[in-house]
């Protein structure tokens, strides 16, 4: 847009808050490589791959082998040049001009009118440059903006050889000059999985990945470029449980460019609810300001507002907070709005109390989240970047992921580092859906340089993002990074003589980053690492506010840490004695293939077999620490899936190659789901065991390309079997069988677990049957029911169903373990709601089981569908028990999700399931292609 001088003057005279904001994002840009041999139209926000692909200069980077064939792209420098910036004003009235870059990835040199504006080296920071003098010097030349992005691969290798770099500091991810994989990622403040991960390609994109705009103002005006809102209970301190009887404190701090009037500046708060109704207006007191920030606070009575609760615990009550700066005579200078919620959220790591010890809780410390003073069981998964390229991530795609999470009883995502800090609109979605976001600073699986320039960069990054995100009630935690303490403890730790790497870790993650959090907020807890043994003491006046516990325990029975564990051994899968005992499970997982339909979006038809060259190329899961030929390493990783299928399920052997590939993909998903359900149930049972285990976040929820990974949802947002299996085992009240075969034992126990905030009385029903669905007797048990009481967030052993030696019971009853099933169900009422759940236990693997044809029958609805339509299908098993019943939508022409899938059916049982449509390009024709299968179908040719 262009203003004439007359219009400009009128606008400024009409409002003291007038300023001209010119959006520089959009089309009209040009992308060139360093020697000019490639020049294509471009847009902002973007990255070089996206504009090259749009211009047909390259193929889809995520298709086939393109991710490796295009290795020339990230080793070149790329320049984005704007169109003529005719919207920028050069007048005496608009005397100040600032360029605001919301995100530049990563090593950028910026020029305006061929004059240097500045250089950047951090993808995660907002950069603001005063270009007033440069713009005036343009004269009659139309301004043009140019941003040169250096190759992060080349630059990080160069940085790794500089004097302030430690060549021994790159744990796991080496600086191999002959490989771009991982490159020297610790030397770039850039999304670390851009350099490759065991679920991600090594693309190393570059470009203006977030918006760019210009701000022009008259003297005495300010532009707010960031704002902190911190809502906490009076007297609250980070990492400590606050007094819920205290009033709320509302603290607002606005960062700005420009200059405030020299007169006294006031601050006020206006609060409205989600219906637009006025709640309160209050002045903020204790105002302090400098040339960049103004801060004030006020107290709000608890009775004036309603609490915000996570999904499944209460309402997600949100308010709009308008913060206004006023000058002389109360005339507004500027204002900003933020959506806020009133809640407290604390990661309680305090010592286990004497009363808890008396109740059987193991000594040590807690590892539990508490919202509004209420401990709760965290149910969820780890969230990774939803696309390899952030500029094309959109609200439809992410909204579907949050809908899936909300529908599956989840209340938390761990936003894994090192991807990128999520944009505000994603936190907005989490606020609305009640999904807490355990957030992390972008450091992962490496030791990071600690030269002063790096520390300053880390601090600016953390300070900006801490302030930007803090107003969201979904923000649950700040962690320093991924698995950092675990690396120190395993490889570098010394209690008496800490080495260089341990000292670097402590300086960055126990001094610099907590300072940034604690200086800005009292409402959020901080831990230095996703894996953490907790603190010995807190001292908020110390340079190191948390004294880490490390391995300092009170005894061999004490439990302090959370867990992060993986097992790819098919022979020990489902062994409950192999699972770690801890207070919280932050990561655990297994891998599976995406569906053949998702593969079809990323692989040529001749590559749709197992394992094709595309499958081998896209698989990045390899044996830990192994080196050698990449294809052979990939095949070794794929063997983890293959061995698990061969050990535990019937192996598909279809005559048709396409059908066999589809069956293989699905079968890997079944063993993946079964493994995760087994682990989640074990961890959830821990809420009533000595470890008082209070969270299970599986790895991982989503995916960014078609590949064998740990995800529950594929890159197309099509759901794997794991999604539905985890949805089921995350039900508020569950029943499950736990079978211990270690040391030659065969102990079978049945437990009921509840994560409700109140005690319940439950009825457990059971029946032993064979796969034909016929009743059998095992020991003294055939069928019946048992009543149990379960405490709040607790587990109860159903002692009536305990079989201490199942092998003897089976043989004594002349029952073949390969033809025996225990069918379980539970029903409980609480607060007017009835909770039900069912489970199946089979002592022999399904690979050994004497499966029968269940004769699945599927009844399909009719009619055309549109966005939001719901279709009800009914599936039944008239002939025998059906294991892992799967309703499959056989086309990419429709997207959506099922109310239930991947379940067992008793003989004669029918179940109705609903498919909710997101998009339908088939005009309802997809319904005819829906099929129902079970694991029995793997036995068919």
Catalytic residues: 483
CA distance 757 to 792: 5
Query: What is the length of the chain?
Result: 941
CA distances from 244 to 235, 317, 345, 373 (A): 10, 17, 11, 7
Long-range contacts of 782-786 (CB under 8 A, 24+ apart): none
CA distance 234 to 250: 10
Residue 822: name the closest of 804, 803, 808 by CA.
Answer: 803
> Phi/psi of residue 664, each to 5°?
-65, -45
CA distance 524 to 171: 30
Residue 510: name the closest of 752, 257, 269, 239 by CA.
Answer: 239
CA quadruple 613, 617, 618, 624: dihedral sign? positive
Torsion angle in degrees (nearest 10) through CA of 527, 529, 535, 538: -30
Helix (H) or strand (E) holding 324: strand 319-326
Residue 141, number of CB atoms within 10 A of its CB: 10
Q: What is the largest CA-CA distance in the chain?
A: 99
Give residues with Cβ within 8 angstroms of 755, minimum separation 6: 376, 377, 379, 684, 687, 732, 733, 793
Query: Quick one: DSSP state of residue 858?
Result: E
> Phi/psi of residue 644, each to 5°?
-65, -40
Helices of type H across 124-199:
132-137, 152-159
Query: Quick one: DSSP state of residue 505?
Result: H
Give residues with Cβ within 8 angstroms of 725, minimum separation 6: 673, 674, 676, 677, 902
Residue 750, number of CB atoms within 10 A of its CB: 25
Residue 129: name the closest of 120, 142, 121 by CA.
Answer: 120
CA distance 880 to 903: 14
Query: Quick one: DSSP state of residue 365?
Result: B
CA distance 285 to 290: 16
Are 416 and 384 in contact by the 8 Å Cβ rule? The answer is yes
CA 180 to chain CA mean position, Å? 26
CA distance 221 to 19: 8
* Strands of the 794-797 sheet, one edge to the other: 733-740, 747-754, 794-797
Torsion angle in degrees (nearest 10) through CA of 894, 896, 900, 901: 50
Are 384 and 419 in contact by the 8 Å Cβ rule? The answer is yes
Residue 215: name the closest of 70, 17, 466, 504 by CA.
Answer: 17
CA distance 609 to 664: 9
Residue 939: name the closest of 865, 840, 818, 851 by CA.
Answer: 851
Residue 398: name the closest of 801, 111, 713, 135 by CA.
Answer: 713
């Amino acid at each position: 847009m262009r203003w004439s001088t007359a219009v400009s003057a009128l606008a400024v005279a009409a409002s003291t808050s007038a300023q001209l904001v010119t959006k520089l994002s959009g089309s009209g840009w040009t992308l060139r490589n360093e020697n000019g041999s490639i020049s294509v139209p471009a847009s902002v926000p973007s990255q070089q791959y996206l504009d090259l692909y749009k211009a047909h200069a390259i193929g889809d980077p995520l298709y086939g082998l393109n991710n490796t064939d295009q290795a020339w792209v990230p080793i070149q420098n790329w320049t984005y040049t704007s169109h003529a910036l005719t919207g920028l004003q050069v007048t005496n009235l608009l005397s100040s001009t600032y360029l605001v870059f919301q995100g530049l990835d990563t090593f950028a040199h910026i020029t305006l009118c061929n004059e240097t504006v500045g250089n950047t080296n951090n993808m995660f920071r907002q950069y603001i440059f005063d270009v007033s003098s440069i713009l005036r010097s343009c004269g009659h030349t139309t301004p043009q903006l140019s941003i040169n992005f250096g190759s992060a691969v080349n630059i990080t290798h160069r940085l790794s050889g500089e004097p302030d770099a430690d060549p021994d500091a790159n744990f796991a991810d080496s600086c191999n000059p002959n490989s771009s994989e991982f490159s020297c990622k610790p030397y770039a403040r850039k999304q670390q999985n851009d350099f490759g991960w065991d679920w991600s390609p090594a693309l190393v994109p570059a470009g203006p990945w977030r918006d760019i705009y210009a701000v022009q103002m008259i003297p005495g005006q300010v532009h707010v470029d960031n704002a902190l809102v911190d809502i906490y209970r009076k007297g609250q301190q980070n990492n400590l449980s606050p007094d819920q009887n205290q009033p709320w404190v509302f603290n607002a701090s606005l960062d700005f460019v420009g200059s405030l009037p020299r007169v006294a500046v006031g601050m006020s708060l206006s609060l409205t609810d989600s219906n637009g109704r006025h709640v309160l207006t209050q002045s903020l007191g204790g105002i302090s300001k400098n040339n960049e920030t103004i801060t004030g606070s006020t107290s709000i009575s608890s009775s004036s507002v309603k609490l915000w609760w996570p999904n499944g615990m209460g309402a997600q009550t949100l308010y709009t907070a308008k913060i206004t700066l006023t000058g002389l005579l109360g005339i507004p200078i500027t204002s900003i709005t933020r959506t806020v919620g009133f809640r407290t959220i604390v990661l309680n790591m305090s010592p286990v109390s004497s009363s808890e010890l008396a109740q059987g809780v193991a000594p040590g410390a807690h590892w539990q989240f508490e919202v509004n003073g209420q401990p709760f069981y965290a149910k969820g998964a780890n969230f990774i970047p939803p696309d390899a390229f952030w500029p094309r991530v959109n609200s439809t795609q992410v909204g579907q992921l949050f809908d899936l999470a909300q529908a599956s009883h989840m209340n938390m995502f761990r936003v894994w580092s090192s991807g990128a800090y999520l944009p505000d609109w994603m936190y907005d979605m989490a606020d609305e859906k009640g999904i807490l976001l355990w957030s992390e600073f972008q450091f992962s699986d490496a030791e990071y340089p600690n030269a002063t320039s790096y520390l300053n960069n880390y601090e600016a990054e953390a300070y900006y993002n801490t302030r930007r995100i803090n107003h969201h009630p979904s923000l649950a935690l700040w962690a320093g990074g991924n698995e950092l303490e675990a690396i120190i403890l395993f490889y570098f730790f010394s209690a008496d003589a800490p080495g260089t790497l341990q000292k670097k870790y402590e300086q960055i993650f126990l001094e610099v980053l907590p300072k940034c959090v604690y200086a800005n907020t009292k409402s959020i807890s901080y831990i230095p690492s996703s894996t953490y043994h907790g603190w010995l003491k807190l001292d908020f006046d110390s340079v190191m506010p948390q004294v880490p516990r490390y391995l300092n325990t009170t005894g061999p029975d004490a439990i302090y840490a959370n867990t992060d564990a993986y097992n790819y051994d098919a022979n020990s899968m489902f062994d409950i004695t192999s699972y770690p005992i801890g207070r919280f499970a932050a990561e655990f997982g297994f891998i599976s293939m995406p569906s053949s339909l998702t593969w079809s979006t990323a692989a040529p038809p001749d590559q749709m077999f197992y394992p094709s060259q595309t499958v081998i190329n896209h698989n990045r899961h390899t044996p830990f620490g192994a080196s050698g030929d990449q294809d052979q390493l990939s095949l070794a990783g794929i063997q983890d899936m293959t061995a698990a299928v061969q050990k535990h399920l019937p192996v598909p052997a279809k005559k048709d190659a396409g059908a066999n590939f589809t069956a293989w993909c699905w079968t890997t998903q079944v063993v993946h789901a079964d493994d995760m359900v087994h682990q989640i149930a074990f961890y959830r049972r821990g809420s009533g065991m000595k470890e008082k285990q209070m969270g299970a976040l599986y790895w991982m929820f989503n995916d960014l390309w078609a590949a064998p990974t740990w995800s529950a949802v594929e890159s197309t947002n099509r759901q794997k079997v794991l999604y539905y299996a985890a949805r089921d085992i995350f039900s508020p009240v569950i029943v499950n069988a736990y079978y211990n075969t270690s040391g030659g034992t065969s102990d079978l126990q049945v437990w009921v677990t509840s994560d409700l905030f109140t005690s319940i009385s439950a009825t457990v029903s059971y029946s032993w049957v064979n796969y034909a669905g016929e009743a059998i007797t095992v020991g003294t048990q055939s069928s019946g029911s048992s009543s149990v009481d379960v405490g709040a967030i607790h587990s109860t052993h159903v002692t009536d169903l305990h079989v201490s030696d199942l092998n003897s019971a089976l043989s004594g009853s002349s029952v073949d373990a390969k033809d025996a099933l225990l069918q379980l169900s539970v029903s409980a009422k609480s607060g007017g709601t009835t909770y039900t759940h069912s489970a199946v236990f089979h002592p022999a693997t399904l690979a050994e089981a004497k499966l029968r044809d269940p004769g699945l029958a599927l009844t399909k609805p009719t009619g055309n569908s549109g966005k939001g339509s719901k279709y009800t299908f009914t599936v039944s098993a008239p002939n025998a028990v059906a294991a892992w019943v799967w309703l499959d939508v056989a086309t990419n022409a429709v997207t959506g999700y099922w109310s239930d899938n991947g379940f067992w059916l008793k003989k004669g049982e029918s179940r109705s399931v609903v498919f909710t449509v997101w998009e339908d390009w088939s005009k309802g024709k997809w319904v005819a292609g829906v099929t129902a299968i079970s694991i029995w179908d793997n036995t068919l040719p």
